[in-house]
Structure 1
């Protein structure tokens, strides 16, 4: 038998850092927790920081030998 947990939701925050001068994506990361949709610009480094809130939804399945798998079922933007 397996154990399935459905309907899991988690607020997520996507952060992108883009250098306008070099036209390069410096970094991108996803953090747990809420954030506001916002942008910042650093005139010294020419970095544009973009934060975007998302909600991730998923399912976790535990098998007979206690292996677990996670399936993302939906990602929405509030």
Structure 2
């Protein structure tokens, strides 16, 4: 009579379940309230906001660059 063993002929330990007795593990069930799906995105509004943010950033960058150049001119004048 042949015993069922694991690969390599080593028998399963008593605390280790056999392959046919194992239950396939599944993702845990989420805890807490289940949230509804997010509302649909209005991509037109999204793009308008994105363009506005990019224009604001370009304006800010230009203002900072002008301020830096003015400070450098003042520094050079003091030398």
TM-score, normalised by the number of residues in structure 1: 0.19
Larger Rg: 2
Higher strand share: 1
Higher helix share: 2
TM-score, normalised by the number of residues in structure 2: 0.18
